[in-house]
Structure 1
Amino acid sequence: MTQVWVNQQSSANVSPFDRGLAYGDGVFATMRTYPKSAPQSGIMFLDLHLARLAQGCERLHINWTVSETLLAHLSELAEKNPNCCIKLLLTRGVGGRGYQAPVHANVTEITSVHEIPAHYQTWQHQGVALATSSITLAQQPLLAGMKHLNRLEQVLIKTQPLPEGFDDWLVYDTQANVIEASMANIFIVRAQQVFTPAINQAGVSGVMRQAVIEALLDIGVDVRIQSLSQADVADADSIMISNSLFGIIDVIKVDKTSYQPWLNTIAVAQKLQTTLS
């Protein structure tokens, strides 16, 4: 059963007037805890997750900094729930009139614990097949890169029934730029050079995306962040996706085109594991 805390209280409730509920006014992070077998406990890449949350709050003009109380709460949850998902959701709280935000926000902090989806382990061993979604992401540079609470585009994408034999959707924006999978960032390999889409107009700049870029640079692989098109997907030698729960995974098929797993995917995964150890 999913466990939920509101402002570190297990018995608390969220107000029906909370701006996160009313307007999607907030940000969130989905984080993985270390397994019991790891040499340390806690949340993987916690500093990166907290930095992205703080940046998102700043961009939305929400006055929030992580408190010692919240840090202690997250540490306790991670200690009690190894190899799990911890979700931290921040809203602007209650106040304001209509869309107009209150001058002083009383931020609501919601934490919850979830199991890691079992099929992620299968994906890690077998790779994934992506089908191109007919639903595209709107360009909005003021929100691009942020993991904000308004995920209606992703909800619509996920309501589409996947074709048989496919695991997730490949998503473009309204200008036909490759952006991401429905819940993961994407990397394209061509001639041993790695490309990942620019996230300055649409999409989420994931914490694992940042970690993968750093791991690639550490093993001497050139990484370019730029606009990518359908032609770039077609011309790719290999494709990978990444997120904070499953790490990095090879894409074995996009629509009717098959791809070979990249020879360096294992090296990147090992580098990430070394970083975590």
Structure 2
Amino acid sequence: MTQVWVNQQTTINVSPFDRGLAYGDGVFATMRTYPKSAPQSGIMLLKLHLARLAQGCERLHINWGPSETLISHLSDLAQQYPNSCIKLLLTRGVGGRGYQAPEQANITEITSVHEIPIHYQTWQKQGVALATSKIKLAQQPLLAGIKHLNRLEQVLIKSQQLPDGFNDWLVYDTQDNVIEASMANIFIVKAEQVFTPAINQAGVSGVMREAVIEALLSNGVDVRIQPLSLNDIVDADSIMLTNSLFGIINVIKVDKNSYQPWANTIAVAQKLQTTLS
């Protein structure tokens, strides 16, 4: 199913001198389109995705904003490929051999369409089990929160062999703070309060994380963003994961500890229209 466009043109050709390839110099977003049965069409949370891309570019000193041509292209793809994954990848473009960025970027915009992993539907219904990763994320506040193109830490995390019966990794940083799963943000519930890790030193600020926080706050749920530790995981009543493709799902196990599904997970998923069917 995978289709690829470079600067809105049907091609798979990118310069070998592109800084995204040479240095991971860019950002990306992984987005989901609404299914045909949904009351609305298009890309879920598109404004949040574009805002986060622009913020990431600003922090990397890349002068970029979504053009009308790009927005029209994304809208066309959403109509052609409902209930699919659209990935938008931005690089600073071609810029010489060395690390020094060119004064003026020649942005490369790469869009691609993919099927949503079929097991995500099972995860929504049954929940997931997490094993603690031995590989930890480095702290780097200049890059924390950005979904930048250098994902070597995640590549190493995913290269580990998961124990039987586990679906993904729980990841800490080098100071033993809980950060995220390998490709999702994490929330924990304790005594009806909801907590999610502070990610000002490491990790990705997910768009679905932001949407879930807003949905919970609008329903009067107390949400705290703060550093979390192993003890917070052990003492949690419930744990959830969020990302843009599967929305919000329950964690039923972390290592040897089991958890009850959170009573509000289904309601939040329905409000955000993220249920896969």
Normalised to the residue count of structure 2, the TM-score between the two structures is 0.97
1:82 alignment counterpart: 82
User: Amino acid of the residue matched to residue 108 of structure 1?
Assistant: T
Deviation at 1:271, TM superposition (A): 2.3
Cα deviation, residue 108, structure 1: 0.1
- Which residue number in structure 2 is paired with residue 132 of structure 1? 132
**Aligned residue in 2 for 1:214:** 214
Matching residue's letter, 2:203:
G
SS in 2 for 1:269: helix
Q: In the alignment, which residue of structure 2 is the partner of 1:205?
A: 205
Give the structure 1 partner of residue 175 of structure 2: 175
Asked if structure 1 preserves the Cα contact closer than 8 Å seen for 2:206 and 2:243, the reply is: yes
Question: Residue type matched to 1:245 in 2?
Answer: L
- The answer on 1:155 being equivalent to 2:155 is yes
- Asked if residue 10 in structure 1 is aligned to residue 17 in structure 2, the reply is no
Partner of residue 43, structure 1: 43
Letter in 2 for 1:213: I
Specify the SS of the correspondent of 1:150. coil
Counterpart amino acid of residue 128 in structure 1: V
Question: What does residue 118 of structure 1 align with?
Answer: 118
Shift of 1:270: 2.2
Q: Give the structure 1 partner of residue 193 of structure 2.
A: 193
Q: Label 1:132 to 1:12 Cα distance change in 2 as closer, same or farther (>3 A).
A: closer
Q: How many residues align?
A: 274
Code of the residue aligned with 2:16 in structure 1: it is P
Does 1:144 find its partner at 2:144? yes
Take 1:169 and 1:228, find their aligned partners in 2: how far apart are those partners?
16
**1:270 and 2:270 matched:** yes
| 2:74 aligned partner, one-letter code | L
TM-score calculated relative to the size of structure 1 = 0.97
Q: Tell me, in whole angstroms, the C-alpha distance in 2 between the residues paired with 1:11 and 1:200.
A: 37
1:147-192 Cα deviation digits (max 9, x unpaired): 0000000000000010000000000000000000000000010000
Aligned position for 2:225: 225
In 2, Cα distance between the equivalents of 1:232 and 1:177? 10
Which range moves more in the overlay, 93-102 or 248-257?
A: 93-102
Displaced runs of 4 or more, over 6 A: none
Task: Determine if the alignment matches structure 1 residue 242 to structure 2 residue 242.
Answer: yes
Q: Distance in 1 between matches of 2:73 and 2:273?
A: 25
- Tell me the SS of whatever aligns to 2:268: helix
Alignment partner, residue 260 of structure 1: 260
Query: Equivalent residue of 2:10, what SS?
Result: coil
Deviations 1:77-111 (A, max 9, x none): 00000000000000000014400000000000000
Letter in 1 for 2:43: I
> Aligned with 1:95: secondary structure?
coil
Q: Secondary structure at the match of 2:86?
A: strand
- State the Cα distance separating 1:205 from its structure 2 match: 0.4
- Tell me which amino acid in the other structure corresponds to 1:103: E
CA distance in 2, matches of 1:51, 1:204: 14
Q: Equivalent residue of 1:249, what SS?
A: strand
What pairs with 1:90-101 in structure 2 (closer than 5 Å)?
Answer: 90-101=90-101
SS at match of 2:273: helix
Q: Partner amino acid for 1:189?
A: V
Closer, same or farther in 2 for the Cα pair 1:194/1:98, shift >3 Å? Answer: same
Unaligned runs of 5+ in 1: none
Aligned to 2:103: 103
1:12, CA displacement in angstroms? 5.3
Work out the CA distance in 2 between the residues paired with 1:11 and 1:236.
48
One-letter identity of the residue aligned with 2:146: M
* Distance in 2 (alpha carbons) for counterparts of 1:86 and 1:92: 20
Alpha-carbon separation, structure 2, partners of 1:150 and 1:63: 19
Deviations 1:39-90 (A, max 9, x none): 2211000000000000000000001111011011000000000000000000
Give how far 1:36 is off: 0.4
